[in-house]
Structure 1
Amino acid sequence: MKSKTLATWLAVLAGALGVHRLYLHGPRDPWAWLFWPPTLMGLAGVWRMRQLGQDDHLSWLLIPLLGLSLVAAMLGAIVIGLTPDDRWTSRFGAPGEASQATGWGPVLGVIAALMVGGAVLMGTIAFGGQKFFEWQQEEAASPR
């Protein structure tokens, strides 16, 4: 049986890399591998901005990808953590196995995911909006 608590916390701590999906569905899960490209591109954007400064336009496009990957991982943690124990056991438990109460582990993971996901989502929206309007001002100021 797969642990709902472990799956929730894997999504919170390493969900941007799809580790929770690998735990639940194995290495053949295509959704697990789809977490990697936007996360790595977002990290490349962070690296570019640290190296080249805030005027690097490519990093403006790449950094929100990291934010969206983190938000998707936190949403996954919330869905996993709030899955009823009966449904969890029927999906990830042994056939005929009785459902067991999971306790506070997944609940605390959901709380952490809500806090992190909300902060990252608001930061991504703010960053994307700021860079969009800066780009518009640059376009308006440049001579044609």
Structure 2
Amino acid sequence: MKSKTLAAWLAFLGGPLGLHRFYLHGFRDLIGWLLPLPTLLGFYGIARLQAYGQDDLWSWILIPLLGLTIAGCSLAAIVYGLMTRERWNACFNHAAAQDHAAGATSWSTIAAIVASLMVGTGVLMATLAFSFQHYFEYQVEEGRRISQ
């Protein structure tokens, strides 16, 4: 039986590595294997930012990949946590009855939803602010270059 609470926590804490996908769909899940790619590229962007400074073009292209992956996995945790018991068991526990306890919502499920909402929203807003700031700085720099 697949636990809704465990899936929500895995999506929140290990989502960028695809842990929730492997838990729910097995190791043959392609999305689970692809999720670490933007995560690692985002961490590489952070390393480039530390090495080359804020003017590095590749760092401000790669860092939002990490933020969007974390925000997307937080959204997945919220969706899993808010599923009804009947829908959860129909999607992930095919052999179980619709009212099986694996799809039940507990206080730890609510905690996963709240944590995902807070962290996911914060990361998404920071990612958007970082991306827009660097995009507009790049546009101003290109405008200056064209005018000279």
CA distance in 2, matches of 1:61, 1:102: 39
Show CA shifts across 1:35-63 (max 9, x none).
12111111100011011111111101000
Please tell me whether residue 132 in structure 1 is matched to residue 119 in structure 2: no
1:22 alignment counterpart:
22
1:104-123 Cα offsets, whole Å, 9 max, x none, are 12111011111011101111
Would you say 1:113 and 2:123 are equivalent positions? no
Q: Which moves more between the two structures, 30-39 or 114-123?
A: 30-39
Q: Distance in 2 between matches of 1:119 and 1:96?
A: 37
SS state of the match for residue 142, structure 1? helix
Note if contact 2:19-2:32 (Cα within 8 Å) is conserved in structure 1: yes
Residue equivalent to 1:46: 46
Alignment partner, residue 99 of structure 1 = 100
Q: CA deviation at 1:15?
A: 0.5
- Post-superposition shift, 1:33? 1.5
Instruction: Give the direction of change, closer, same or farther, for the CA distance of 1:112–1:142 in structure 2 (3 Å limit).
Output: same
Q: Structure 2 counterpart of 1:55, which letter?
A: D
DSSP 3-state at the match of 1:32: helix
Which residue in 1 is equivalent to 2:75?
75
So what's the TM-score if we normalise by structure 1?
A: 0.93
Q: Which residue of 2 aligns with 1:123?
A: 126
**Percent of matched pairs sharing the same residue:** 50
**RMSD after superposition:** 1.4
Cα distance per residue 1:65-92 (max 9 Å; x no partner) = 1111111101110111111112212332
| Paired AA for residue 105 in structure 1 | S
**TM-score between both structures, scaled by the size of structure 2:** 0.91
Residue identity in the other structure for 2:130: F
Unpaired runs of 5+ residues, structure 2, are none
Contiguous gaps of at least 5 residues in structure 1: none
Within 2, Cα distance between the matches of 1:96 and 1:139?
60
* Distance in 1 separating the partners of 2:67 and 2:93: 33
